Structure 1
Amino acid sequence: MSRDMGRPKSLSSKMNTDGPLTRTGPNQFHSDFIATDFQSTVALNLPTTELLLGHTELNPATMAQTESVPLLEEAAILFATGQVKVAEHMLRSAIDLDNLGNAATLAWFMLFDLYQIEKNQYAFESLSLDYAGKYETSPPVWHNSETNIDAPESKDESAIPGLVFPSKLDGEIIKLLQKLNNLSDSSKVLKLDFGRVKTVDPVGCGLLLRAMRNLKKTKHDLVLVAAQNLTEQIRSILEVGRRDETEAPWLLLLEVLQLLQLKEVFEEASIDYCVTFEVSPPAFEAPTSKVTTAVAEAIPADENSDRFMMPKTIEGSTEALVKQIAAHAKNHDLVILDCSQLERVEFGASAQLLNGLVPISGTKGKSVQFHEVNYLVMHLFNAMGLKNVAAIFPRKQS
C-alpha cells in the first residue's frame, strides 16, 4: 500500500476508475456497465414511506429489511471509490425509471446526500422540487456548511491553530495561505487539514509548495491531517514521461512524502520525477521539526460522553481511528458512533473499519451502533457487511 501511495496512477496497481464499475461477485468489478436501465432482481420487503421519511424510529431488526438493494449498494460503492458522476447518474436514472418499489425513497435520499456532500445546491434544490411534487411532502433541507476562511478556526484558545483546505487546491488558496502566514507568526505548531481536497492543479500545488518550504525553513512543527489524501490527488494529475509546464506538483508530492518520512515511496517517486524531467533524483531529507499525522477531522468523544464523534471522511489507514473507538469502548457497553458529520468512507477504508470493529463488537456485553448515517454511507456499510457487527441507523431527513 505504501508503495502505491506516492506513485502516479499510470504506474500504480489500483482499481480502474476510467469507467463505471460493476460487481460481478463479492468485491469483484468490471468496467463495461452502462447506467441506463436498472432492474432489481431482489424481492423488496421494505418499511413504509412514513418510516423511511423519519416519522418513526428505526430499530436494527427493521433496518435489516432494507439491506439488500443491489442497485443502491452499487451506487454507494461507486461513490466510495470516487466515481461520483457515475453514482449520481445511476441514482438519477433509478429515480426517473421508478422501478425500485418501496426502496425508491432511499434512492432519493442518497442523491440528496450526494448533492449536499458535493455542495451542489442548484441540483439539490431542483431535486427538492421533483421530490415535493411526487410525494407531496416537504423535501430535505439544504444545510450551509462552508467554512468562512476569515473566521477563527477554533473557539478553544488551547487548540492548535491551523487551516482546513477546500475541495479545490488551485489559485484561490492564496487567501488561505496568507492566513497561514499570519498564524505562523503567532504559533510554532500548525495544523494543516487536507481531508476535503478532491482536485488539485499546478498553480495550487505551486502555492502550497512555497508555503510548505517556508514552514520548513522556519522550523514549524506540523500536524498533517489526511496527508495521504493530498498525495493521491497530486499523483492523479501526474504521468511519468509527460513533461508539464511546471514541476510544482511533482515537487509538492516529494515534499509531502518527506514530511511523512516515507523514504521508500519518496525514492520511487523521485526516480519517476527524474525520468520525466531528465534531472538528477533529489535526495531524501527527513524533517528536522516534529511532524504528526492524524485521521481526517477525527473528533473522539471524551471519557464522559455517551457518543464517539466520527470524522468527516474516513480514508486510507483506519488504525488510528479504530484505536480511538476502542479506547472509548472501554468505558461504554453500548458504543454509539455518531456519524452526523461523516460524509464519505473510502471503499478500502470501509473494509479496514469492519475488521477493526469485529473485536470490539465481539467483546461480551458490548454492542456497536452507527447513528445518524447518511444514506450513501449506510448502503456502503450494508454492502461491506458492517451490518454483521453493528446496528446502522440512518439520519432523519428534515
Structure 2
Amino acid sequence: MLPSWMSAAGVAAPDDRQGNVGIFSFLKKKPEAAAAPPEPARLETAPRQPSDAERERQREIARATAAKIDAIELAMTTDFFDDAEARWGNTRRAPAAAAAVLDEAGESELFTMLEQPDAAAAPAAAPVVEESAILYANDQAALAEQMLQGCLAELGRSERQPWWMLFDLYQAAGREQDFDSIAIDYASHFETSPPAYSNRLPADTPQQTFAGVAPAARLTGTLGSDATPRLQALLASSGAPVRIDLSAITHATIDGCAALLSALQSLRGARRAIVLAGADTLLAVLRPMLAIGERSSGEAPWLLLLELLQLLEREKDFEETAMDYCVTFEVSPPSFEVLPAQAGAGTTPAGQPGAEQRFMLPATVDGDIAPLLAAIDNYAAMDPAAPVVLDCTKLVRIGFAAATNLHAALRRLAVDERRIELRELNHLVAALLRLLNYGDCARLYAHKY
C-alpha cells in the first residue's frame, strides 16, 4: 500500500498483471482508469469539496513527486547501463582512463543530494564525528580511527561523513591498502563507484611547506595554443606551488595539449609542486578524443592524459592507458613513476592577486601560527575588495588551538561582509571547523569523493 502523500500526488501502484513492464515502470504515474459508474449515494451529507487552494497544493505535490521519481529512475537506469558501448552500440573502444567527474558548477542537484551535501552547507553532525575530529586535531589519529571504524555499523549505514573522514585519515597516513579496503565496503553499501586513492602529504610535513600565494593560471574554454604564454609565465614564476585550474576546459586541440604537456613536464622536472584543480574535467575532455588503434588525434592528447594520471598518482588507470597507447602507436609503453616529495619555497612577492590566485595553507597548522596569520593578513590586504580564498588542498591537519586562533583572525577579516572561503578541505578538518562555528565568517568547501 502506497503512502498517503504518493496517493495524493497521483502515483499509481505497480500493475503486476502486465507482462511488458519497464524496470522502473512501477515508479511512473499511470493514467487514471476510466471512472466507474457511481454507486447509489449512501451518505446523507455530500463530501466536502476541496477548495481551489487545496487543489493547487495537490497539483504541486503531484508535480514534485513525479519529477523526483523521474530523476531517481534516470539515475538508477544510468547505473545499470553505464557501459557506453552497450548503451550506444559503438564499436569504437575508448582508452582506459578515470571516469568523468563534473565540476562544481555543472554538478546536478540530484547527484549533489545523493552523493554529497552542498559543499558550503554544514551537514548534520553526530557526536562521534565531532569527537573524532577533535582527536585528530590533537594528533591522536589512532583513537580517531577507532571511533570512526566503530560507528560504521550504525551511523555509517545512513551517513557518509564517517566514511569520508576515514578515507582522508588513510590518505594522510599513506595507508593505501586500508583505504582500498573500506572503499570496497563503501561502494557496496552505497551502490556507487569507489573513491580513488591519491597520496596526500604526510601529517609531519613541516608547517612552512606550501604556505603563501600560489602562482596560478585558470584555463577556460578550448585548450589551444593561446594557453602557451600563460603557461610560460607559470614556468618563470617562483615561490609557492603552481596551481593550474582545469575545471572550465570544454574542448582541446592537439597544439593546446602539447603546450600543457610541455609545461607540466617542465614543472615536474624542476620538482615544482603542482596543484591541479578540476583535473577530472580535462580527463573527460581528452577521453572521447582518443580511440585504440586510431592515430589521427596525434600523440600529444595521449601523452597529456598519461601525464595527468601520473600527477594524480592513479597508477592503475595509468598502466591501462599506457597499454592502449602502446597498442595504438606500436611503441614501448611509458612507465609509472613514484613522484618524489615536492616542496614549495615560501611566499611569492607582493602584488595584486588575480581572481584565480589563492593563499595556499601548509600541510600542518599547529603551535605558534602568528607568522602564518601575518602572511594571510598581507594577502588579504593586497585587494581589500577581493574575496579571501584559502586553498586547503595540501592541508592535512590543523590543531585545535591553532584552529581557534585562525577563526579569530578570519572573523576580523570578515568585516563589511567580506567573503572568505576555505576550499578543498579534507573532511576531518572540515568537521572540526564546523564544530568551531567557522560558518559565522567563512564558507567551507570540502573536497569531494
TM-score normalised over the length of structure 2: 0.40
